[in-house]
A and B are shown apart, each in its own frame.
Chain A
Amino acid sequence: MSIWRYANPAEFMRVSGAALPWVAGGAIAAMALGLIWSLLFTPADYQQGQTVKILFIHVPAAIQAINGYLVMVVASLIGLIRRHHVSFLVAKAAAPIGAGFTLLGLFTGAVWGEPMWGTWWVWDARLTSFLILFFFYLGYMALWAAIDDPEKAADLSAVLCLIGGVFAMLSRYAVQFWATLHQGTSISLSGNQKLTDEFFYPLMVMLIAFLLTFVALLLLRVRTEIRLRRARAIRLANSEG
Chain B
Amino acid sequence: MTTETGTAPVEVISASKWYGNVVAVNDISFELRPGITGLLGPNGAGKTTLLNMMAGFLRPSAGEVRVMGRAAWHNVEMYADIGLVPEREAVYPFLTGHEFVLLSAQLHGLPEPEHATRRALRAVEMTDAENRRTGGYSKGMKQRVKIAAAIVHDPDILLLDEPFNGADPRQRLQMMEMLQEMAAEGRTILFSSHILEEMERLGENVLVIVAGRLAASGDYREIRRLMTDRPHTFRLRTSDDRKFAGALLADESVTGLELGDEGLTVRTGAFSTFITVAPRIAKEQGVSILEIVPRDESLESVFEYLVSR
A and B from one assembly? Answer: no
Which B residues are within 8 Å of any A CB, using their own CB?
none
